[in-house]
Amino acid sequence: MNLDLLPDDCFAHILSLTSPIDACRISLVSSSIRISANSDNVWEKFLPPDYQQILTRLRHPLIFSSKKHLFFRLCNPHLIDGGLKTFSLEKTTGKKQYMLSARELNIAWADNPLFWSWKPFPTSRFVEAVELRTIWWLEIQGKINSGMLSPKTTYECYVIVKFVDRAYGLDFLPSKVTVEIGNVKSEGNVYLRQYESKKQCLETLWYSNRMELVLRSMAFRGIMEERVACKREDRWIEIELGSFYNNGGDNLEVKMSLKEVTGTHLKGGLVVEGIELRPKQQTTANHM
């Protein structure tokens, strides 16, 4: 069948039922198809239904010439809600991504300058991050309403941190990480230590997963998944807190946390930028 023979509005409707990456690929077929593939009718379908409301929350207004232009501009993180969060779209699917700044989190004793220090960091997306000076009770909590996220989507949650040169006491004991939505809760453990490369990070994760399988085969119960701290391209470090499936339709509170409160030793040198929520890549699980 010659796609050029389809009416423009019919073909645009078909494209709007695909994905941003599919629309970009098929626009290369011919010049006439490119016109339909680049139309506002197609790209408005790839934008979130509440994109107009999101635009009002941007700290700096966006200038765009078309809905496709707007889509790709939103694929870069933009400050929203007075600079306390960032918002972006996942480029291949158009699903929402957020990052909550440290100021949006509930960090135990973060307002006490004896324990924590608020300061700007050149590589941070936010005006300031917070550095742990010294404390024994480490507890970081964040929350977001599931209605702000894309429906029918599995999300992964990460706390974004750095370790300064003077860091100490952070990996004496594992920290507990959790993500909870409704009556579903994901739990894990992580040692707050830095890995020099992504390869070393993945090797550690592979080893810990192998150990978990061995322990399970020996009939141990109540074992939590081991997580690792992985270096990112932006030179920050991400630690997976857990994942959850957002069915959509319900405004549920998503609760995320990292804490180490069992040891009585002092710890310091951890810089917290925020918590990031992004769609899980290549999800294969089926949800009814």
Q: Give pLDDT, residue 37.
A: 77
Per-residue pLDDT in tens (0 to 9) along the chain, 288 residues: 455 555 556 656 667 667 787 787 777 666 666 777 788 888 999 999 999 999 999 999 999 999 999 999 999 999 999 999 999 999 999 999 999 999 999 999 999 999 999 999 989 999 999 999 999 999 999 999 999 999 999 999 999 999 999 999 999 999 999 999 999 999 999 999 876 545 555 554 544 454 444 434 433 444 567 888 899 999 999 999 999 999 987 899 999 999 999 999 999 999 999 999 999 986 444 443
Verify that 233 and 90 share a domain, yes or no. yes
CA distance linking residue 215 with residue 210, whole number of Å? 9
Verify that 250 and 272 share a domain, yes or no. yes
Looking at the domain assignment, is residue 284 inside a domain?
A: no
Q: Give pLDDT, residue 11.
A: 57
CA distance linking residue 45 with residue 151, whole number of Å? 15
Looking at the domain assignment, is residue 1 inside a domain?
A: no
**Six-digit token string for 238:** 């991400």
Q: Give pLDDT, residue 217.
A: 43
Verify that 166 and 206 share a domain, yes or no. yes
Q: Tell me the whole-structure pTM to 2 decimals.
A: 0.84
- Looking at the DSSP bridge assignments, the partners of residue 186 are 179
Counting the structural domains of the chain, the total is 2
Q: Give pLDDT, residue 42.
A: 87
Verify that 58 and 102 share a domain, yes or no. no
Q: Give pLDDT, residue 60.
A: 94
**Six-digit token string for 164:** 């300064």
Q: Which helix (H) or strand (E) holds 268?
A: strand 268-279
The residue from 76, 97, 132 where one domain ends is 76
Verify that 146 and 69 share a domain, yes or no. no
Verify that 70 and 19 share a domain, yes or no. yes
The residue from 34, 54, 76 where one domain ends is 76
Verify that 17 and 139 share a domain, yes or no. no
Count other Cβ atoms within 10 Å, centred on residue 152.
11
Looking at the domain assignment, is residue 207 inside a domain?
A: yes
Verify that 39 and 95 share a domain, yes or no. no
Cβ distance 163 to 270 under 8 Å?
Answer: yes
Verify that 101 and 30 share a domain, yes or no. no
Verify that 50 and 92 share a domain, yes or no. no
Count other Cβ atoms within 10 Å, centred on residue 114.
9
Q: Give pLDDT, residue 14.
A: 66
Looking at the domain assignment, is residue 288 inside a domain?
A: no
Boundaries of domain holding 254: 81-279
Q: Which helix (H) or strand (E) holds 32?
A: helix 31-37
**φ and ψ at 24, to 5 degrees?**
-65, -40
The residue from 19, 51, 76 where one domain ends is 76
Looking at the domain assignment, is residue 19 inside a domain?
A: yes
